[in-house]
Structure 1
């Protein structure tokens, strides 16, 4: 188990449980203790109305999760209920008190969950799962819970580098367990229309379909992002015809030329392709850092475009806003709401951003949150204070908790009201791709994830001290079905690695588990470690398919020397912890790395060497 990740606490005694509100994340803000307790046992059933489709869907997921949590097979039946049962109901008439995602929980001889919507009833089951994580006895009581904010989220930049789908699936499960409901994914989906853009870091459409289906099941909306018109190099590095060109005639691979109709057509064709796999009624176009490290003066044709379209007082910034607004119109036509980052709203424009666009505020710039709200836009708090950057800045959760941070606290300004604030999210960025492994990121995210869940659902600091909140967070553990990705399937020791297809001579490696749950492979004969370091480097990460796997001087801090061993038919696969490419053996017997959909990963038969 990675440091910082804990299993649920042991069950408390009945006296201790009755003396306090049961520990959940988010905390139960309206809990009223009552005499007695609820007992989950062999005879427990999940009871729903026979014709209630929404409640039955929630019940089926709950039964599946109870089984995954070691609670056995719990049948879903129609009433009447008896002692020890779990009763689920979706009652649209309760919308006034329970709103869109709220629920009522009553615990006594039975555990009863009522929502006005399917989502509300679902979140009630997540709370019940947390209560049962502490033991089969739950103290009696009653509460009505409603979220403070509609959007309670996480942002992940699976951009440039690839993050395993197993890691993302764990995240979705934990998010729903904590009542978080929105996952922003900046990522590349492998394109059929633009194969020249399919540099590694992508996801196949089938992978995304599976992830989106999991999100739908667990009430996590997955919103895709293709950042534009800046940060477009993953897409247009091989398309100089679409790149913004400066006065020296130098194309800029990261910048889309917003003045070209072909550039807009290219971008919207990607939106159409993403619509094949993403179902969210929202589209995030990024729109940040377009002129990062440069300025519009080096691109005079942008100003000319703006003046030709909007008149002599127009600014180059208007051309940028024009592109945003054209994407807005296209998204709206497709039934989607546009979302953008805030830093492009410099105030240097004469053309306003179209109303209906949601602004996600992460950076303190000239146009403050209060001005964005005054202008009539909804705003989400995506504060830099909530960032976790690989090999860089990590959110100070203790500081935020002790300050009683809530979604009104933006970078540079705190708003007094919350009417136009949709919510808040933490964000994961891979600026230094090899700075940390996925497992290290997961360990570092454990408390920040639970803090944002608390701060967006209810009282930002329900416990008197941060230590008490950390204990609360540890007590609830992980969601049912969460997979421990730190397990290495073989013991430390020396093994003879034999390619099952016989394309290279067997080699002996000493396998040693790393602290974050991967393995290093050291050659006993050379004392060197298996590593991937050659090929094109992006974010300090070698991401070129087909690049060699070599032996290099061993270093405990070198994440590129960490490998994931995965069971496969006939043996094991080897996947680099950072590049997420698998070891492949060429017909010439060379060891290289490739995405699994490009070349079939080698399967290795491991035979322990005698000491």
Structure 2
């Protein structure tokens, strides 16, 4: 039996626990109110399989049973989990998502065996102590971004990622589907995007300064049915999938497939291939009507697949040199009465801002999209520190805080020489735990524009799910608590208490098969000696 004091993320309030409680065995029944069917199915499929229980349907008042209820007095994602001896377990949620998050808490209370896929001790009776837990999230956007363009993750790995998000009460999956190094989503009206753009001939190993190469093709893409499956699987776990189609930079894979999308009056785009190294690429989209129509067609198919309110258009790291040299781009600047190439990028982004808004969606992009102005409904992913998020919130735009100095999980977790592929700043588990998504510079009214936060997994140095596991965990557990729990100010947080709770959580991660970084450092097989990274000097200040 696991104590409520070991929960991750930490709940708002816990009354109890007491010695007596409820036992789970072959007689345990499950009753679900209308509107809670996704949690009902999940409990039977997941807890039932892990503990060898049928959780057969039973009456609402069955002694020792589990009851799922909706309660409109609670916030939509809030829940109340009550365990009463001789009566059973009741999960009340303000909405279907709240019931689901309550079920995640119940899973933790049942112990690490509840995180396996089949029983390891058949016939065992699992118990939950008498207690009441009341809980609700701090932020509505609790996200994880996964870059599948630099290194492709097969569909099963994406579904596994969604399961890990659900176990940590994260609810937004930012799906980075296109970049210079690969195009990962089938677009039926433009088949060469995947025929050509989804694979590259070789891949740089480590940082772009590394002399090492993997001299074999790398690639893959998701069919539209794959995408539908991923979106449906996420929805069953109350996770929203936000797709990212990056424009006008980070587009060499698209230009390699359709050379007319590039600045053909400056560079021979027919000679371009999908990029095989890392960094900021000079080959960007041409600001032509043809490019706009092409990407409108792309986004039309994207909107059919993704029902999310937000659609991410990237908008970051767009070098302007080709536009400065391009007679066609300069003619476009003159035609539109723009001052320079920065305003040309703003015009490009604002076109899709308006286009999405007329279809009932909202544009979100990296904080570079602030440069030159932004339409009223657009939102900003603030990655270059806090400054972009502060500026956006002050201008009345919604913000998702994801500063690279705090929550870029491709960055190294320690300064030691054994740390594999040392990239960026040192961001320890404690650093992440002390991250606060709301800048102190904002007024209360401005702070309400902070929708939430997300951690980002850029995969240049993560070639498979084992490397993704290592970079994400255990830091994603700390991040989940930052995003969910109502924590005190960063310097006042009880990191020692979190470390104690993590001892129980490591057992859950072990049961899930997560290859996390152990507290004492990487295991021998997690090291990558000789693979160069790009460590930055010093550490960014904690807020």
Taking structure 1 as the reference length, the TM-score comes to 0.68
Pairwise CA distance, 1:337? 1.3
Counterpart of 2:399 in structure 1 is 379
After TM superposition, the structure 1 = structure 2 runs for residues 269-308 of structure 1, keeping only pairs within 5 Å, are 269-291=297-319, 294=321, 297-299=324-326, 301-308=328-335
1:317 maps to what in 2? 342
Alignment-derived partner of residue 192 in structure 2: 196
Corresponding pairs, count:
454
Post-superposition Cα deviations, 1:356-385, rounded to whole Å, max 9, x if no partner, equal 1110000149x6432211111000011112
CA deviations over 1:419-441 (Å, ceiling 9, x no partner): 11111111111224xx6532122
Q: CA deviation at 1:304?
A: 4.1
Q: 2:290 aligns with which of 257, 262, 280?
A: 262
Kindly tell me: are residues 281 and 248 of structure 1, through their superposed partners in 2, closer, same or farther at Cα, counting changes over 3 Å?
A: closer
> Which residue is 1:85 aligned to?
65
Write the distance in 2 (CA, Å) between the matches of 1:246 and 1:389.
37
**Once the 2 structures are TM-superposed, how far is the Cα of residue 184 of structure 1 from its aligned partner?**
0.7
| Residue 55 of structure 2 is aligned to residue 74 of structure 1 | yes
CA contact (8 A) 1:463 1:469 kept: no
2:160 is matched with which residue? 170
SS in 2 for 1:191: coil
Tell me, what secondary structure is at the counterpart of 1:25?
Answer: coil
Report the Cα distance in structure 2 between the residues aligned to 1:251 and 1:234, rounded to whole angstroms. Answer: 12
1:457 aligns with 2:441: no
State whether residues 27 and 462 of structure 1, in contact with CA within 8 Å, keep that contact through their aligned partners in structure 2.
no
The question of 1:210 aligning with 2:229 is answered yes
- Per the alignment, residue 158 of structure 1 pairs with 148
What displacement does 1:269 show? 0.9
Correspondence list, 1:342-361, <5 A: 342-346=367-371, 349=372, 352-361=373-382
3-state SS of paired residue (2:137): coil
Question: Highest relative contact order (Cα 8 Å, sep 6+), 1 or 2?
Answer: 2
Determine which of 509, 514, 527 is the counterpart of 1:477. Answer: 509
Task: Give 2:139's aligned residue.
Answer: 149
Aligned residue for 1:369, secondary structure, equals: helix
Structure 1 pair 22–399 and aligned structure 2 pair: CA distance change class (3 A): closer
Q: CA deviation at 1:285?
A: 0.6
Partner of 1:41: 25
Q: CA deviation at 1:78?
A: 3.6
Q: Is the 8 A contact 1:244 1:252 kept in 2?
A: no
What CA deviation, in whole Å up to 9, does each residue of 1:45-93 have, x standing for no partner? 11234xx1x12332122121112322421113342231x21111013x3
**Structure 1 gap segments, 5+ residues each:** 1-10, 487-513, 518-554, 560-611
Question: Is the CA contact (8 Å cut-off) linking 1:245 and 1:252 kept in structure 2?
Answer: no
| Deviation digits for residues 209-247 of structure 1 (CA, Å, limit 9, x no counterpart) | 221121011111111111001011111213232212576
Measured on the aligned residues, the alpha-carbon RMSD in Å equals: 3.1
Q: 1:75 to 1:463 in 2, by over 3 A?
A: farther
Q: Which of residues 140, 146, 170 in structure 2 aligns to 1:180?
A: 170
> Relative to total residues, which structure has the larger helix share, 1 or 2?
2
SS of equivalent to 2:257:
coil
1:138 Cα deviation after fit: 2.0
Alpha-carbon distance between aligned partners in 2 of 1:45 and 1:111, rounded to the nearest angstrom: 10
Long gaps (5+) in structure 2: 114-125, 178-183, 200-218, 273-280, 412-420, 488-492, 517-523, 533-543
With over 3 angstroms needed to count, the CA separation of the structure-2 counterparts of 1:272 and 1:115, relative to structure 1, is same
Secondary structure of 2:409's match? Answer: strand
How far does residue 465 in structure 1 lie from its aligned partner after superposition?
4.7
1:239 to 240, 258, 262: 258
The Cα shift of 1:146 comes to 1.0
Matched, 1:61 2:42: yes
Q: Distance in 2 between matches of 1:121 and 1:280?
A: 21
CA offsets 1:82-139 (integer angstroms, 9 cap, x no match): 1x21111013x32xxx212111111122211101211111111111111112572222
Q: CA deviation at 1:251?
A: 8.6
| Conserved? CA contact 1:60–1:76, under 8 Å | no
CA distance, structure 1, for counterparts of residue 501 and residue 339 of structure 2? 52
* Equivalent residue number for residue 89 of structure 2: 111
How has the CA–CA distance of structure 1 residues 369 and 556 changed in structure 2, closer, same or farther, with 3 Å as cutoff? closer
- 1:398 match: 429
- How far off its partner does 1:303 sit? 4.8
SS at match of 1:389: coil
Q: Can you list the C-alpha shifts for 1:411-467, whole angstroms capped at 9, x where unaligned?
A: xx86464311111111111224xx653212213312121111100001444553553
Task: Decide whether aligned partners of structure 1 residues 401 and 205 sit closer, same or farther in structure 2, where only a CA change above 3 A counts.
Answer: closer
Distance 1:231 1:342, change over 3 A: same
Q: Tell me the TM-score normalised to structure 2 length.
A: 0.76
Tell me the distance in 2 between the aligned counterparts of 1:302 and 1:374.
Answer: 32
* Separation of aligned partners in 1, 2:94 and 2:424: 41
Tell me the distance in 2 between the aligned counterparts of 1:252 and 1:364: 37
- Of residues 203-212 and 259-268 in structure 1, the stretch that sits farther from structure 2 once superposed is 203-212
Partners of 2:293 and 2:171 lie apart in 1 by 32
| Paired residues of 2:242 and 2:311 also in contact (CA < 8 A) | yes
Structure 1 residues 259 and 152 mapped into 2: Cα distance closer, same or farther (>3 Å)? same
Maintained 8 Å contact 1:208/1:277: yes
